[in-house]
C-alpha cells in the first residue's frame, strides 16, 4: 500500500542567503519564504549599522520605557522577516567574507541590494560566489541596474518612480503628482521582478521535461527604475510612438472619464470602474438615469460629469456598497488599510483567501502580518515563525541545519 505523503510548501528545500536590507530584497525573500524557501539573513553585527527596520517603530513588544524588548520587534521587520534566520557577518572583515562565501556555497540563491560593485570590492561578488559554487544564483536589486551612467547613484522609491515616468503620469493635472501609499518601485519594480528572475534562473539551471538544465547559476540584475518603467504595459508603446496623454487625461488614470473615477460621497470616497458598456448600463439602470447612458466618457468638468458627482455625494459608502451588491457595476468603497484588513478577515471566515497570518514574536506572543495573497490546491504555505534576532543562528555549525531538515546533520 502506498503511503500518502504530507504535502510540503512548493519551494521546500530551496536555500536562500539574503544579504539585503529595508524593503525590496526582504520583500522578495518574504514571498519565497512564504512558499517554503529556507531564508537566512546576513545581518551586520552592529544593529545600528544593520537593517533599519529592526529598530523602526512602532514595536510589537516594548519595555515599560517604550523601548523594544529586542531587535526583532519592529512591526515592519516582523512582517518582512518572520520565519527567516539570521547570521551576523561583517563583510569588511576577511573572516566575514570567508564565512559569507561558505554560506553562499551551500545556497541555491544569494540575494543582495548593495550598490553595484560593492560586493566585488569586498571579495564576495559574482565571480567569488561562482567560484565557490557554480550552481548558485546571485540576484542583485538596485535602483538603476549594474551598469550605465546612474548605476552608482543613490535613490529611493519616489525617485525611481520619478525617473521611470510613473510619477509624472499619476494624479490630477492641476495638482503635484503623488506616489501611491505603497512603495510601487520597491515592490512591483524590485521585489516581484527579483522573485520572477530567481525562479526563472532556477528553472534554467535545473531544467524541466524536454528542457535539460544547464546546472549553472547566473547573475540576475534587477533595476527598480527599469522594472517600474516596464509597468507601462498598456500605454508604453503608444507613448514611444508619440501618443502620450497628459497627466490625469489617460482613460485609466482615474480623473478623466465618468465611468472610471474616484468620487466623493457623503462620508468618504468610492470608485467606479464601469469601463465595459454592460457595467455602465447596470450603473445607470440602478440610478434610474437612462439619460446618462450616452455619457460614460464625460469629463469631470462637463455637465454630465458634475451631475454624476452630485449623485455620488448624496449617499454614504455603506449605501453605495449596498448599491454595488444589487447592481453589478464595478463600484467599490474606498477603504482605509485598517478597514480593508477587517473586511478581508470577515471574508476569509466565509472561505475567501486569508488576509493575515498569526506570526509569533520572540516573547511568545503573536501579531497579525499580511498574508501573501496566494494559495495552492495541494501545497501549503510555510508555517509562520518568529522573526530572528541579529545573529540568532550563529551558534549552529550551519544555519541550514534545522529541526525540519535533520538530514543536514549527517
- For residues 400 and 376, give the distance between their C-alpha atoms in angstroms, rounded to a whole number: 26
331 in helix, strand or coil? strand
- For residues 216 and 1, give the distance between their C-alpha atoms in angstroms, rounded to a whole number: 39
Q: What is the pLDDT of residue 133?
A: 98
Instruction: Give yes or no for a contact between 80 and 53, defined as CB atoms under 8 angstroms apart.
Output: yes
Bridge-based pairing state of the strands 331-333 and 268-273? antiparallel
Residue 87's H or E segment, with its range, is strand 85-88
Kindly give the residue spans of alpha helices, DSSP state H, lying in 51-140. Answer: 75-81, 94-106, 118-122, 126-132
Instruction: Give yes or no for a contact between 122 and 91, defined as CB atoms under 8 angstroms apart.
Output: yes
- For residues 36 and 79, give the distance between their C-alpha atoms in angstroms, rounded to a whole number: 16
In 3D, which of 295, 290, 289, 231 has the Cα closest to residue 260? 295
CA atoms within 13 A on the CB side of 20: 31
Three-class DSSP labels, 238-283: HHHCCCCCCCCCCCCCCCCECCEEEEEECCEEEEEECCCHHHHHHH
Set out the domains of the chain in order of their start, with CATH numbers: 15-231+354-409 (3.40.50.10540), 260-338 (3.30.1540.10)
Instruction: Give yes or no for a contact between 297 and 257, defined as CB atoms under 8 angstroms apart.
Output: yes
The catalytic residue positions are: 156, 186
Residue 203's H or E segment, with its range, is helix 192-206
Q: Please report, in tens digits, the pLDDT of each residue of the chain (410 residues total).
A: 344 545 899 999 999 999 999 999 999 999 999 999 999 999 999 999 999 999 999 999 999 999 999 999 999 999 999 999 999 999 999 999 999 999 999 999 999 999 999 999 999 999 999 999 999 999 999 999 999 999 999 999 999 999 999 999 988 888 899 889 999 999 999 999 999 999 999 999 999 999 999 999 999 999 999 999 999 999 999 999 999 998 888 888 888 999 999 999 999 999 999 999 999 999 999 999 999 999 999 999 999 999 999 999 999 999 999 999 999 999 999 999 999 999 999 999 999 999 999 999 999 999 999 999 999 999 999 999 999 999 999 987 788 765 445 444 33
Instruction: Give yes or no for a contact between 157 and 163, defined as CB atoms under 8 angstroms apart.
Output: no
* Other residues' Cβ atoms within 10 Å of the Cβ of residue 126: 19
Q: What is the pLDDT of residue 6?
A: 59
Q: What is the pLDDT of residue 410?
A: 39
Q: How is residue 95 written as a grid cell? A: 573572516
Strand runs (DSSP E) across 92-239, as ranges? 109-112, 137-142, 207-208, 211-212, 219-223
Q: What is the pLDDT of residue 402?
A: 58
Amino acid at each position: 500500500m502506498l503511503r500518502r505523503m504530507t504535502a510540503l510548501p512548493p519551494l521546500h528545500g530551496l536555500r536562500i542567503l539574503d544579504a539585503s536590507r529595508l524593503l525590496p530584497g526582504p520583500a522578495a525573500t518574504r514571498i519565497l519564504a512564504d512558499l517554503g524557501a529556507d531564508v537566512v539573513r546576513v545581518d551586520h553585527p552592529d544593529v545600528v549599522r544593520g537593517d533599519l527596520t529592526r529598530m523602526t517603530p512602532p514595536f510589537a513588544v516594548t519595555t515599560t520605557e517604550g523601548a523594544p524588548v529586542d531587535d526583532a520587534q519592529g512591526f515592519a521587520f516582523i512582517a518582512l522577516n518572520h520565519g527567516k534566520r539570521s547570521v551576523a557577518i561583517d563583510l569588511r572583515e576577511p573572516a566575514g567574507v570567508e564565512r559569507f562565501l561558505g554560506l553562499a556555497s551551500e545556497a541555491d540563491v544569494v540575494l543582495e541590494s548593495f550598490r553595484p560593485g560593492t560586493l566585488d570590492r569586498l571579495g564576495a561578488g559574482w565571480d567569488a560566489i561562482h567560484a565557490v559554487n557554480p550552481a548558485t544564483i546571485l540576484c542583485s536589486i538596485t535602483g538603476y541596474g549594474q551598469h550605465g551612467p546612474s548605476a552608482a547613484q543613490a535613490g529611493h522609491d519616489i525617485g525611481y518612480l520619478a525617473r521611470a515616468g510613473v510619477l509624472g503620469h499619476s494624479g490630477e493635472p492641476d495638482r503635484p503628482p503623488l506616489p501611491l501609499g505603497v512603495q510601487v518601485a520597491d515592490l512591483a519594480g524590485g521585489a516581484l521582478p527579483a522573485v520572477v528572475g530567481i525562479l526563472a534562473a532556477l528553472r534554467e539551471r535545473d531544467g524541466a521535461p524536454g528542457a535539460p538544465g544547464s546546472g549553472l547559476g547566473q547573475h540576475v540584475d534587477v533595476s527598480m527604475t527599469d522594472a517600474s518603467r516596464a509597468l507601462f504595459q498598456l500605454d508604453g508603446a503608444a507613448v514611444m510612438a508619440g501618443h502620450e496623454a497628459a497627466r490625469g487625461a489617460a482613460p485609466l488614470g482615474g480623473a478623466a472619464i465618468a465611468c472610471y473615477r474616484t468620487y466623493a460621497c457623503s462620508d468618504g470616497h468610492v470608485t467606479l470602474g464601469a469601463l465595459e458598456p454592460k457595467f455602465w448600463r447596470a450603473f445607470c439602470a440602478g440610478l434610474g438615469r437612462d439619460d446618462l447612458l450616452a455619457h460614460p466618457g464625460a469629463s469631470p468638468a462637463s455637465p454630465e460629469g458634475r451631475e454624476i458627482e452630485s449623485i455620488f455625494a448624496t449617499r454614504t459608502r455603506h449605501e453605495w456598497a449596498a448599491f454595488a451588491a444589487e447592481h453589478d457595476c464595478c463600484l467599490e468603497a474606498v477603504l482605509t488599510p485598517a478597514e480593508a484588513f477587517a473586511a478581508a478577515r470577515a471574508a476569509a471566515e466565509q472561505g475567501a483567501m486569508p488576509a493575515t497570518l498569526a506570526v509569533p514574536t520572540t516573547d511568545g506572543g503573536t501579531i497579525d502580518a499580511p498574508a501573501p495573497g496566494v494559495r495552492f490546491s495541494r501545497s501549503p504555505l510555510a508555517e509562520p515563525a518568529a522573526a530572528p534576532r541579529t545573529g540568532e543562528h550563529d551558534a549552529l555549525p550551519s544555519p541550514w541545519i534545522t529541526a525540519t531538515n535533520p538530514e543536514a546533520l549527517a
